[in-house]
Structure 1
Amino acid sequence: MSENEHNEPTNVPLAGVIGWPIAHSRSPRLHGHWLQRYGLKGHYVPLPVRPEHLAEVLRTLPRAGFVGVNVTIPHKEAVLALADVVTDRAALIGAANTLIFRPDGKIHADNTDGYGFIANLRQSAPDWIPEFGPAAILGAGGAARAVVASLLDAGVPEVRLANRTRLRAEQIRSEFGARVVVYDWGQAGNMLEGVATAVNATSLGMEGAGSLRVPLDALPPEALATDLVYTPLDTPFLIDARARGCQTVDGLGMLLHQAAPGFERWFGRKPEVDDELRRAVLA
């Protein structure tokens, strides 16, 4: 190695995903596939960070060559208070999943979950028309908030919401306004009547979680049904909806699409979401 080579900094961009725990995350495989596919310099790593260390870690990462991180449970709300710049959609949703460490030292927080949700529907169901009728969402957690925001933004005339704890659904209605209508969890089956889009935004139906015991008898066969759960890929909710004649979209695409804006900002290349990527992430 020449002396000149030895002195030049490499400046390989680093990014990662912060959570606690983090071993289950598919993000390193996802971003790693894109880096390899486009022959880009860069690394994307899992970063297990305890809640009490979050602020300290976020201050340290840019100094260690990090250009940004994805954020997952339990840090998605906490990072908003630590960011210098928060996008409107992240503020509205009350959570961030993508941080950009800017050259001026500021931390920029965004939420791309809603973007990923809509991009997945548009790619997997090109005939889907949001304005066609009401949407029904089961669940009122952080992911559901992103879905509500994105559906209202896409032009859905009404969003019907049911959650096991009604208060959480009421909070969403108070923040997002009159186009959100809250139903009791016991009436969740009835809220599906006449909808054009049905979304399971609960963890029910996930491997190791409980069953989603909401009857789908009122779900119109021309509706589109999608599940945010992607383990298993074909959830009981999707299987039941398909048996009624509905078009279904699995939840993996949302994970893939929500990753794209961060990747583009960090590594300078707009990545493609396609079958090759799905196979790589599922491998």
Structure 2
Amino acid sequence: MTNPYAEVIGDPIAQSKSPAIHTYWLEQLNLTGTYHATHVTRAGLTDYLTQRRTDPDWRGCNVTMPHKQAVMPLLDHLDPLAARVGAVNTIVPENGKLVGYNTDVPGFLEPLQPMLTQSHLFRMARILGAGGAARAIVTALADQGMVIVLAARDPAKAQVLLGEIDPTGEHHIAELGHFAAPTDFAFDDRAGCFDLIVNATALGMVGQDELAFDLSHAPPGAVFYDIVTSPLDTPFLRAARGAGFRTVDGLSMLIGQADHAFRRFFGAKPPRGPADTELRARLTA
């Protein structure tokens, strides 16, 4: 009798909410299988994958920081989207080979789909941060026809990231500190436009400094999106919501990317819609 399982690997890993998400879906679908967190260091990454290759019960793993790029040369094949992003967050054994995928891209876009299905005269995203998380976000939004302003402590790093992912796009670079100070820029009414402001940094997370962002940089009608999940309601989102802006929290992306990974691990579509409400209650209890 087989005992299929999947897992999430990272360093550290105890904080991951992925086991709770996948376990909830397995329970709801009454599927045989388990999902847990496994602590894997950078030094142990090669040995971990070598061991899992020969485990018939292993269905794959999610990959979190700091391994999303380090695992790439250790895999047999990269899905084209993962290759373009330059990061892997899902590994699946397929026909004796280890295949790397990136489900962060569709996961990030999922809560934005109702807005992105509309026609706009212009789309702009201000993305704060140029680290690993930003790679998937830049890829996702560039594919949606958005002009990107990528802000980083090191603008040269942001320039390299944009050049790798969307070299022909008409995007812009800014220093992260630019958005901390007030601006007197006179936005128009932005009718027919879609503006998005994304925190792709760890700022605002438990144990980190707050993200300094002055709301004068937000065009009317902008949507604020924070990928931080602990705390779920960050100061960045609270300030935006208090000023009347729409907000999207980090659980939206986390659950969205897990949906795509779950299908590959367990061959089933997870329960969504009303089930998301109970899942969120579990994750925030």
| TM-score, length basis structure 1 | 0.89
Kindly provide the CA deviation profile for residues 102-129 of structure 1, in whole angstroms up to 9, marking residues without a partner as x: 1x2100001111111101223xxx3454
- Tell me the distance in 2 between the aligned counterparts of 1:14 and 1:46: 11
**Partner-residue secondary structure (3-state), 2:228:** coil
- Tell me the distance in 2 between the aligned counterparts of 1:244 and 1:147: 25
Kindly provide the CA deviation profile for residues 138-190 of structure 1, in whole angstroms up to 9, marking residues without a partner as x: 0001111100100111222x011111121221111222223321112232366
- Tell me the distance in 2 between the aligned counterparts of 1:77 and 1:179: 26
Alignment correspondent of 1:279: 281
Match of residue 67, structure 1, among 56, 59, 67: 59
Match of residue 174, structure 1, among 148, 163, 168: 163
| TM-score, length basis structure 2 | 0.88
Kindly provide the CA deviation profile for residues 12-46 of structure 1, in whole angstroms up to 9, marking residues without a partner as x: 32110111221111111111111111000011121
| Counterpart contact for 1:130–1:155, Cα < 8 Å | no
Alignment correspondent of 2:104: 113
Sequence identity percentage: 42
- Tell me the distance in 2 between the aligned counterparts of 1:187 and 1:241: 18
Alignment correspondent of 1:81: 73
Alignment correspondent of 1:160: 149
- Tell me the distance in 2 between the aligned counterparts of 1:254 and 1:192: 32
2:200 maps to amino acid: A
**Partner-residue secondary structure (3-state), 1:143:** helix
Flag structure 1 segments of 5+ consecutive residues without an equivalent: 1-9
Moved more, 189-198 or 34-43: 189-198
**Partner-residue secondary structure (3-state), 1:51:** coil
| Counterpart contact for 2:87–2:132, Cα < 8 Å | yes
Cα gap change, 1:192 to 1:63, in 2 (>3 Å): farther
Flag structure 2 segments of 5+ consecutive residues without an equivalent: none
Runs of 4+ in 1 over 6 A off after TM superposition: none
Kindly provide the CA deviation profile for residues 195-250 of structure 1, in whole angstroms up to 9, marking residues without a partner as x: 61111111111121001112121312311111111212111111222233211111
**Partner-residue secondary structure (3-state), 1:89:** helix
1:279 maps to amino acid: A
Count, aligned residues: 269
Alignment correspondent of 2:223: 224
- Tell me the distance in 1 between the aligned counterparts of 2:250 and 2:211: 16
**Partner-residue secondary structure (3-state), 1:171:** helix
Alignment correspondent of 1:39: 30
Deviation at 1:62, TM superposition (A): 3.4
Q: Give the CA RMSD over aligned residues.
A: 1.9
**Partner-residue secondary structure (3-state), 2:217:** coil
